[in-house]
Structure 1
């Protein structure tokens, strides 16, 4: 499978705005539109916090995808320093994402339960932006596309992401180009750890000729560690606010979140530490 083109998400940050009322700042960030997007369906005060926190997370998902996509582009051009810069910017985005769970940390089961019914079948598991990040991490699963079958544009975009190389795929391709014996082959399946990849990372960390790649490995671990923190905070927030009830979208709730939090991203970068 060859490299699919890396597409930078259309975040529209620098888009020309139509003339209108308000300050240049308000027009630039579309302030009026931004503050008109919160529509609670109940009179429960906690629902507004839930909506705004969720919307902030969605925007940060887009920004993180932007940085990881830039990192992919740099890796394909053998620009390790540029990839490192993008990954470092991404870790700051991840830190804000992790801490955003604190906005919901004190929501009691009674508060959440008092407006949960208005969510209907809506669930964070249905976030296409979040699923796109999971695919970038190599956590791919074709059956998850079924929920988007009635949204052709989103389904097509995610199907392309499923087939495209993940961020880790591009890292392994770089290692292969640097002469390391890595069985690089992008897949539409969930990434599975390989002994050959662990052996390659061992050489990276122990041979001075690969010092720049060792720095890349550490930057990837910074990102991976924050993914785990995000999952753990998600698990804790759900456990505190609703216990072990089934998720709103029919998910298994805490069971799924706990299993997800226990899965390492970029696994060989963790296991190679047993040998160093």
Structure 2
């Protein structure tokens, strides 16, 4: 194939008729025009734009966090502990930004929120497929939640696969088993429950020199878990401030559900063993 016949990549970036987008290389690479066209407030309330931008930023960060946790899983399966720790460390920085993102909504008053809340109908962050995928990766699995995606077959298939596949913690426990620790098979299609055998394995990691090389993994997972709790607590506080105890827009129980979620430990054995260390 001659040089003149090599197929060129399409750099139109959404310009009608395929005409190449003009502007700086930065604008083309980041797709700035497309990006800044995605914010479409439905009311005249100034705070609604902040609500939309914050929600969209969170969705992007959910995707980035899934990317890092998936890389960590791959490294764990390959017995590449340094690679897994690097991905988890990058992920914790993403989590920190996610937690801090709630600051953008911290001053949203009930009057401001109620001025545009009816306009998005039954839409709710609870319906975020990206967020649910992260919950499944954390071991917080609930097959009933898939019902809301019946009309989205692609999303349903992807989440069903995540439900049935090992989560991040499952892959960490599988590594412990390969390193000689007695860990039961924990992969299941329901929420991970604290297991005495798993707790005993982690206790050996913290107390026996033979397994001390796995201690950085335990602490990295605890860093992840702690940030999940911070996220849930900030979510609870933001909702409590903006709308009180009213039911969620998607039909959830609002504050009650968020409070239960905030009180639920992620990777529970890593927390439970601390009483005896």
Q: Partner of 2:62 in structure 1?
A: 61
Q: Which residue of structure 2 aligns with residue 153 of structure 1?
A: 154
Deviation by residue 1:47-90 (Cα, 9 ceiling, x = unmatched): 10000000000000000000000000000000111100000000
Q: Which residue of 1 aligns with 2:90?
A: 89
Is residue 110–residue 241 contact of structure 2 (8 Å, CA) maintained in 1?
yes
Shift of 1:273: 0.5
Q: Is the 8 A contact 2:186 2:192 kept in 1?
A: no
Q: Distance in 1 between matches of 2:77 and 2:97?
A: 28
CA distance in 2 between partners of 1:100 and 1:190 (Å):
27
1:216-239 Cα distance to aligned partner (Å, 9 max, x none): 000000010000000000000000
- 1:211 corresponds to 2:219: no
Q: Which has the larger radius of gyration?
A: 2
Secondary structure of residue in 2 paired with 1:99 = helix
Residue equivalent to 1:248: 249
Deviation, structure 1 residue 119 = 1.3
Q: Which runs of 5+ in 1 are unaligned?
A: 1-14
State the distance in 1 between where 2:21 and 2:249 align. Answer: 40
Equivalent residue, structure 1, for 2:225? 224
* Alignment partner, residue 258 of structure 2: 257
Count of residues in Structure 1 that have an aligned counterpart in Structure 2 = 262
Aligned counterpart, 1:10: none
TM-score scaled by length of structure 2: 0.93
Alignment of 1:1-276 (within 5 A): 17-18=11-12, 19-276=20-277
SS in 2 for 1:37: coil
- Deviation track 1:77-118 (CA, whole Å, cap 9, x = no partner) reads 001111000000000000000000000000000110111110
Partners of 2:141 and 2:190 within 8 A in 1? yes
Separation (CA, whole Å) in 1 of partners of 2:213 and 2:83 = 12
Matches of 1:35 and 1:227 in 2, distance apart?
A: 29
RMSD over aligned Cα atoms: 1.0
Distance, in Å, in 2 between the alignment partners of 1:229 and 1:240 is 16
